[in-house]
Structure 1
Amino acid sequence: MTLNVWNSQGDSGARGAVINAGLRRLDPDLVALQEVLWEPGGGQLGELVAGTGLRGTHQAEVTAGVAPGADRYGGNAIATRWPHRIVETLDLRGVGAPDVPWETLAALVELPGVGEVLFLAPTTAFRMEAEGEREREVLALTDLDARHRTALPTVIAGDFNAAPDAASLRYLTGRQSLAGRGVQYHDAWEIAGDGPGYTWSDENPNAAQDIEYLVRQPRHRRRIDYVLVGSPYAHPKAYARVRSAVLAFDTPSGDIWASDHFGVVVDLDIGMLD
C-alpha cells in the first residue's frame, strides 16, 4: 500500500484518526507513507500506525541530519507487518529542488515461509515542470534496486508525481529507455485496477488548493501514486502476481478527507517458482 499523508495540513488530528482507522481495516503488510512529520518518539508515524501491528521506520531515524523543509513537508516512512531492516537511504534531491526533504528508503522484509523481499519507498520531484529531475531520480532508483534486490521480485510503492505517460514512468514500465538504459516493472494498477485510478484530483477538496496553485486549470486529475513489482527479467526464479488493485481513502469519512492524495492498495501473490 502507498499513501501520501499530507504532513500536518488541514485538520491533521482528525485526518490522522481516519488514516489509522483505515489502516486497521485494510490490514496491509507493506506500507509506504509520504510527507510524514517526525518527532523523537514517533510523532505522526506512531499515531498513524498505533494499534495496527505494523512496525514503522521514518527516514529521520536512519539518515544523518535533518533536510531543509522537513519540519513542513515531512519525509518518507515505511511500515511492515514483519520485521524489516533498512539497507540504504537515497537522497534524490537535485539542485532544482533543494527544499524537498523526501529520501527513498530501501528495506529488506522477511516474508514468513517465503524469504526476503526488497521494499523501496520513493517520492520524486513534485513540480509539474520537473520531469527532467524525475528522469534522473528513477535512474538512481533502479540502481538502488540493482544493489539490493533479492530473488523475490522487488516491490516499489510511492508518490511519483508523474502520470503513466511521463518519461519517468514509461522508463520504469519498460516503454522507453533513459540514458540508453532500460528496465521493466509491472504497474499493478494497469494490471488489476478498475478505471483511471486517479490519486490526485480536484474532486478532493484537500488537493484543490495545491492544484489551483500548481496547475490553475479546471478538472485536473492524474494517477501519480503507484505500486510497481519487479519482472521476470530481474527475478527469473520467482513471481509477484498482481491479484487486485484498488484506491483507498478516496471518499470522505463523514466530512473528513484523509489526505490530499488517494491511496493505492494492491494484493500480491509472491513466491518462488518450483
Structure 2
Amino acid sequence: MSGGRACDGFRRMQWGALLVALLVVGLSACRSAGSADRVDVEATMDVVTLNLWHDREDWPRREALIASELERLAPDVVLLQEVLQDKGLPNQAETLARRLGYAWHFVSVDPPDRARRYGNAILTRESPVARGEKALRPMDDYRIAGWVRTAVHGRPVNIYVVHLNFTDASGAIRTQQIADLQSFIEATRGDAPVMLAGDFNTRGDSPELAPLRERYDDAYAYLHGPADDARPERVTLNPKYHERPQRIDLIFAQRDRLLPLESRRILDQPDADGTWPSDHFGTWARLRFAATR
C-alpha cells in the first residue's frame, strides 16, 4: 500500500511539473506573439477614404457621425472628396482635421480668394514634408488630384487623393484623368511607397483603371476577391440615395511596397434617427509596409 501511494505521489509530481512547463511555454508564446503584434502595428498604416457629399442635408449632424467614427478608428490617413467651404461654412476638411488633431491639405480648382471652394483633402497624423496638386483634364471638369508626403510610424509614404469624372459613360475622360494622375505620381513620388484613394466614379475592375491595377493593388478586392462590385455587401454608393449602387470608393496600394492586410466598409449605417453619414459609404484599410531591403 505504501509503495502504491509513493508511486501515485511521484506521478502527480510528474504531471505537476509537466503542467508548469506547459504554462511557461504558453506564457512565452503569448509574450512573443504580443511583441510580434506590436512590431506589426509599427509597420502598418490605417487609411480611410470617404466622399463627404459636401453640405447636403443635415451637415452638422452628419459631421458629428463622421467625426465620431474617425475618432474611434483613429486612422493614420483620411482622404476626403466633395469637400466644401463657403460663406458661413468653414472648410469641412479643416473642421474635421482640427477636431481630430490632424494636419490637412485641401486642393481645389477654385481660386484661393473665392469664398466658395470645392475639392478634395488629405488629413494626416504627421505634418506633411511635401505637398502638391494637379488639375486633371479636361479643365472644365473641376477634377483635381492632391498629394502629400508624410511619415507613418517613422516610415515615409506618398498619399494621393482623387475624384474622377462621372458624366462620361464611355470612360474616356476617366482614362485621360488616370493618365494625368500617373504622370503626377511619377513626378512627385521619389523613393517612398505610394497609396492613392478616392472616389473613382467607376468600379474597381473597370477597363479605365487597368493602368492602375498594373502597379497597385485594390486593397478591398485583394482581400475579398474580384467579385461583382454591384453586390449589396460590397457597394459604396449608398442605396438610400443611388439607384445603381456600386463599389467606386477605392484604396490602391503600391504592389511590393504596401501589402493590404484588412479592408472593410465603414460609415454604412444610419443613426437612431435615420440620418446617414453620407450618400457614400466609407472604406477602411490596413496596409503593411514592406520590409526595408
**TM-score (norm. length: structure 1):** 0.79
Q: Which runs of 5+ in 1 are unaligned?
A: 175-183, 212-219, 233-238
Is 1:103 aligned with 2:151? Answer: no
User: Given that residues 117 and 155 in structure 1 are in contact (C-alpha distance below 8 angstroms), is that contact kept between their aligned partners in structure 2?
Assistant: yes
Larger Rg: 2
- For these two proteins, the number of residue pairs brought into alignment is 238
What residue number does 1:217 align with?
Answer: none
| Corresponding residue SS for 2:104 | strand
What residue number does 2:220 align with?
Answer: 189
Q: Could you tell me which of 123, 131, 138 is aligned with 2:163?
A: 123
Aligned pair in 2 of structure 1 residues 230, 67: CA closer, same or farther (>3 Å)?
farther
Is 1:49 aligned with 2:97? Answer: yes
Is 1:65 aligned with 2:111? Answer: yes
What residue number does 2:79 align with?
Answer: 32
Runs of 4+ aligned residues of structure 1 deviating over 6 Å after TM superposition are none
Is 1:20 aligned with 2:67? Answer: yes
What residue number does 1:257 align with?
Answer: 276
Rounded to whole Å, the distance in 2 between the matches of 1:67 and 1:129 is: 34
Q: Could you tell me which of 132, 142, 155 is aligned with 2:172?
A: 132
Aligned pair in 2 of structure 1 residues 186, 124: CA closer, same or farther (>3 Å)?
same
Rounded to whole Å, the distance in 2 between the matches of 1:167 and 1:107 is: 27
Rounded to whole Å, the distance in 1 between the matches of 2:101 and 2:123 is: 9
**How much is the aligned-residue C-alpha RMSD, in angstroms?**
2.5
Rounded to whole Å, the distance in 2 between the matches of 1:106 and 1:47 is: 20
Once the two structures are TM-superposed, the CA of residue 39 in structure 1 deviates from its matched residue by 5.0
What residue number does 1:10 align with?
Answer: 57
Is 1:242 aligned with 2:260? Answer: yes
Aligned pair in 2 of structure 1 residues 272, 146: CA closer, same or farther (>3 Å)?
farther
Once the two structures are TM-superposed, the CA of residue 3 in structure 1 deviates from its matched residue by 0.2
Is 1:228 aligned with 2:246? Answer: no
| Corresponding residue SS for 2:100 | coil
List per-residue Cα deviations over 1:112-149 (Å, max 9, x = no partner): 332x2110001110225151000000011111111112
Once the two structures are TM-superposed, the CA of residue 167 in structure 1 deviates from its matched residue by 1.7
User: Given that residues 202 and 248 in structure 2 are in contact (C-alpha distance below 8 angstroms), is that contact kept between their aligned partners in structure 1?
Assistant: yes
List per-residue Cα deviations over 1:43-99 (Å, max 9, x = no partner): 322332343221112115xx771599x948x2101100111144321111416xx2x
What residue number does 2:213 align with?
Answer: 173
What residue number does 1:82 align with?
Answer: 126
Aligned pair in 2 of structure 1 residues 127, 66: CA closer, same or farther (>3 Å)?
farther
| Corresponding residue SS for 1:242 | strand
Query: What residue identity is the alignment partner of 2:205?
Result: D
| Corresponding residue SS for 1:200 | coil
Structure with greater helix percent: 2
Query: What residue identity is the alignment partner of 1:80?
Result: T
User: Given that residues 137 and 180 in structure 2 are in contact (C-alpha distance below 8 angstroms), is that contact kept between their aligned partners in structure 1?
Assistant: no
Q: Which runs of 5+ in 2 are unaligned?
A: 1-47
Aligned pair in 2 of structure 1 residues 50, 22: CA closer, same or farther (>3 Å)?
farther
Q: Could you tell me which of 214, 235, 242 is aligned with 1:198?
A: 235
Rounded to whole Å, the distance in 1 between the matches of 2:110 and 2:57 is: 29
User: Given that residues 263 and 284 in structure 2 are in contact (C-alpha distance below 8 angstroms), is that contact kept between their aligned partners in structure 1?
Assistant: yes
Rounded to whole Å, the distance in 1 between the matches of 2:56 and 2:69 is: 19
**TM-score (norm. length: structure 2):** 0.74
Once the two structures are TM-superposed, the CA of residue 251 in structure 1 deviates from its matched residue by 1.1
Rounded to whole Å, the distance in 2 between the matches of 1:189 and 1:106 is: 22
Deviates more, 1:118-127 or 1:80-89: 80-89
Query: What residue identity is the alignment partner of 2:60?
Result: G
User: Given that residues 49 and 56 in structure 1 are in contact (C-alpha distance below 8 angstroms), is that contact kept between their aligned partners in structure 2?
Assistant: yes
Rounded to whole Å, the distance in 2 between the matches of 1:200 and 1:132 is: 22
Rounded to whole Å, the distance in 1 between the matches of 2:51 and 2:165 is: 14
Query: What residue identity is the alignment partner of 2:148?
Result: A
